[in-house]
């Protein structure tokens, strides 16, 4: 059955809104990465991190800004040449890539960076963004890197439908990403004798290990939160299977029910 004219019009309007959001986000985050890389020059005597070994790549915030610029660029390409329908039966490759990157990386990493940065900032800003850096790292860039990432990824969650991968696939992808970054923090330390984030300077080794494991666990929880929100917002449109009362009874009786 063909969709009604009103439904088709509503879908077209939503597609246009999503494309505008994707364009603004892609331009914004790409410019932020470019500006941070080329214009934010912090003298080593002010802060070694970001100006010495590893450059800007020592910070998860910089990784995330690149990730968001890549994700929203892919989303924009999908708007133009892919498939923006809620749950296509045979989605093109660009749509599958877009959905996987959002679920496994873009949403949990953006929310992790925003929540942890502003939480620690509220306790003691010297632990994440010392006041001495204000003359080098402008406020507007700080908000793009640590505030707008959450705003735009939440807009994306509620405006654009996607199909989440299986939990196994998504969590493996996210765990691999975070394991690479957390391992990188040790490489940085052994080359500079400084931890990327000042808060870790005040910890002993057991506390640091627990801190890093807690970071990983929090990211994995945020993946599950994203999956939950997506399920509640989009339901069957996103490919989630609705469990009937009969299936629930069968499940209670020990019969297997498979659901991603």
Q: How many CA atoms lie within 13 A of 77 on its CB side?
A: 14
pTM for this prediction = 0.89
- Within 8 A by CB and 6+ apart from 100, the residues are 165, 169, 170, 173
pLDDT of residue 79: 94
222-234 pLDDT, tens digit per residue, is 999 999 999 999 9
169-185 pLDDT, tens digit per residue, is 999 999 999 999 999 99
User: What is the overall mean pLDDT for the chain?
Assistant: 89
pLDDT of residue 244: 41
Question: How far apart, in whole angstroms, are the C-alpha atoms of residue 199 and residue 197?
Answer: 5
**Of 151, 148, 181, 164, the residue nearest 223 (C-alpha):** 164
- Cα distances from 5 to residues 12, 157, 239, in angstroms, run 10, 25, 24
55-70 pLDDT, tens digit per residue, is 999 999 999 999 999 9
Name all contacts of 55-59 with Cβ < 8 Å and 24+ positions apart: 58/184, 58/185, 58/188, 58/196, 59/196
Residue ranges of E strands in the chain = none
The answer to whether the beta carbons of residues 76 and 26 sit under 8 Å apart is yes
pLDDT of residue 8: 59
Ranges of the chain with pLDDT below 50: 1-2, 244-249, 256-259
């Amino acid at each position: 059955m063909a969709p009604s004219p009103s439904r088709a019009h509503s879908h077209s309007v939503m597609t246009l809104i999503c494309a505008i959001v994707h364009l603004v986000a892609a331009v914004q985050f790409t410019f932020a990465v470019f500006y941070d890389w080329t214009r934010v020059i912090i003298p080593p005597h002010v802060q070694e991190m970001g100006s010495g070994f590893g450059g800007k790549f020592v910070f998860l915030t910089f990784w995330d800004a690149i990730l968001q610029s890549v994700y929203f660029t892919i989303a924009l390409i999908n708007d133009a040449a892919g498939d923006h329908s809620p749950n296509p039966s045979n989605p093109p490759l660009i749509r599958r890539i877009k959905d996987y990157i959002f679920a496994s990386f873009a949403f949990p990493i953006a929310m992790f960076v925003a929540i942890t940065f502003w939480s620690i900032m509220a306790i003691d800003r010297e632990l994440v963004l010392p006041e001495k850096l204000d003359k080098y790292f402008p406020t507007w860039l700080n908000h793009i890197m640590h505030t707008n990432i959450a705003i735009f990824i939440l807009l994306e969650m509620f405006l654009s439908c996607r199909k989440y991968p299986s939990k196994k696939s998504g969590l493996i992808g996210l765990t691999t990403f975070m394991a690479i970054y957390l391992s990188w923090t040790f490489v940085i330390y052994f080359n500079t004798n400084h931890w990327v984030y000042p808060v870790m300077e005040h910890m002993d080794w057991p506390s640091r290990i627990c801190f890093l494991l807690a970071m990983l666990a929090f990211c994995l929880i945020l993946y599950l939160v994203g999956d939950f929100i997506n399920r509640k917002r989009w339901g069957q449109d996103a490919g989630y299977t609705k469990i009937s009362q009969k299936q629930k009874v069968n499940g209670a009786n020990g019969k297997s029910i498979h659901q991603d």
